[in-house]
Amino acid sequence: MCGATEGGLSLDGVNVAKEAVIQGQVTRVVDGQTEPVPNAYVRLLDATGEFTAEVPTSASGHFRFFAGNGEWTLRTLAPKADPVDRTVQAAVGSVAEVAIAV
C-alpha cells in the first residue's frame, strides 16, 4: 500500500494513486479530554457550495472521501454542536488530512 491510511480507515483494494483522498477525524473536548465523535456526519461540498457526498464518522471519529482536484468544503454536523465548515484542497494521488473539532 502507499502508506495513505493515516486517518485510520483501511484503504485496502483502493488504488490511491488514482484518487484524490480527503480524510480525517472529528473530535470534541469533553471534560478537558479530546475525544473522537463517532456519531457525526461529514458533508462534502464542491467549490460552488453544492453537496457532493456525506458520510457518518466511524467508531473512531474518522471519515474519508474520494474527491477530485480542487477546493472542497467539509461541513460537519454533530449532536449538540453547531455545524463546522472547513475548506480543503484535494489532488489526485495525494491524501488531504483534516482534523475537525466540534
30 is an interface residue for other proteins by CB under 8 A: no
User: CA 15 → CA 23, 68, 72, 82, distances in Å?
Assistant: 15, 14, 21, 35
Choose between 28 and 43: whose C-beta lies nearer to other proteins.
43
Rounded-to-integer distance, Cα 63 and Cα 39, Å: 11
The correct pick among 6, 14, 93, 97 for binding other proteins (CB under 8 A) is 14
**Cell numbers standing for residue 37:** 465523535
Residue type, 9: L
Residues 60-79 that bind other proteins (CB under 8 A): 64-68, 75, 77-79
Point out which residues bind other proteins (CB under 8 A): 14-15, 18-19, 39, 41, 43-44, 46, 48, 50-56, 59, 64-68, 75, 77-80, 83
